[in-house]
Structure 1
Amino acid sequence: MKKLILTSLLLSCTVGFTSCSDNPAAVTENQSEAAIAKGSTNKVAGAPWVKQFEDTFDVGSNLSQWTKEQRADYNSWYCDYYSSVPTTQWRDGKQCLEIKTTKLSTYKYQSGFITSNYQFKPENNTEYMLSANIKLITMDGGTYKSFKDTYGAWPAFWSVQGNGWPTKGEIDIMEGYSFAPNSSRFTSNIFYGTSVGNNLLGNSAERNYPANFNVDGNNGWHLYESFWKMKDNVVTVTIKVDDITVATYTNSSVSNLNLNNFGPHSIIFNVNVGSKDSSFIDPNKINLFSTVMMWVDDVTVYKRPI
Structure 2
Amino acid sequence: MNKKIKTAFLLSMGVVSIALMSCQKGDDSLATKKTAVESTDNDKASALGPWTRLFTDDFNNSNSFNNWTKANRADYNSGICIYDPNVPVTGNYDSKNVLVLTATKNGSTYKSGLIKSNFSFKPNANEEYRTSASIKLVAIDGTTWKDFTQTYGAWPAFWTVQETNWPVKGEIDIVEAYSFGNYAKYASNLFYGTSANNNQLGNTCEKPYNVSAGWHTYDEYWKNVNGSVTVTIQLDGVTVSTYTNAINGNLQLQNFGPHNIIFNLNVGSNSNVGIFNNSQINLFSKTMMWVDYVTVDKRTL
Query: TM-score, normalization: structure 2?
Result: 0.85
RMSD (CA atoms): 2.0
Mean Cα displacement is larger for which, 38-47 or 81-90?
A: 38-47
Q: How many Å apart are 1:38 and its aligned residue? A: 4.6
Task: Report Cα offsets for 1:54-101 as digits up to 9, x if no partner.
Answer: 001013425100000000111002100000000111111111100011
Separation of aligned partners in 1, 2:111 and 2:90: 17
Does residue 185 in structure 1 map to residue 185 in structure 2? yes
Q: Kindly tell me the number of residue pairs found equivalent between the two proteins.
A: 269
Runs of 4+ in 1 over 6 A off after TM superposition: none
User: Secondary structure, in 3 states, of the residue corresponding to 1:118?
Assistant: strand
After superposition, residues 37-76 of structure 1 pair within 5 angstroms as 38=27, 42-44=33-35, 45=38, 48-61=50-63, 63-76=65-78
Q: How many Å apart are 1:184 and its aligned residue? A: 0.4
Separation of aligned partners in 2, 1:54 and 1:2: 23
Contact 1:59 1:90 in 2 (8 A): no
Match of 1:236 in 2: 230
Q: How many Å apart are 1:255 and its aligned residue? A: 6.7
Match of 2:250 in 1: 256
Match of 1:173 in 2: 174
Equivalent AA in structure 2 for residue 200 of structure 1 = Q
Q: How many Å apart are 1:266 and its aligned residue? A: 0.3
Contact 2:88 2:113 in 1 (8 A): yes
Match of 1:266 in 2: 260
Higher relative contact order (CA 8 A, sep 6+): 2
Equivalent AA in structure 1 for residue 187 of structure 2 = T
Q: How many Å apart are 1:4 and its aligned residue? A: 3.9
Match of 2:92 among 82, 90, 93: 90
Separation of aligned partners in 2, 1:267 and 1:60: 18
Q: How many Å apart are 1:42 and its aligned residue? A: 2.3
Q: How many Å apart are 1:43 and its aligned residue? A: 3.9
Unpaired stretches in structure 2, ≥5 consecutive residues:
6-23, 40-48
Q: How many Å apart are 1:284 and its aligned residue? A: 1.1
Equivalent AA in structure 2 for residue 42 of structure 1 = K
Identity %: 51
Separation of aligned partners in 2, 1:134 and 1:2: 20
Separation of aligned partners in 1, 2:243 and 2:26: 32
Q: How many Å apart are 1:39 and its aligned residue? A: 8.2
Match of 2:165 in 1: 164
Contact 1:118 1:266 in 2 (8 A): yes
Unpaired stretches in structure 1, ≥5 consecutive residues:
6-34
Separation of aligned partners in 2, 1:140 and 1:43: 34
Separation of aligned partners in 2, 1:254 and 1:85: 40
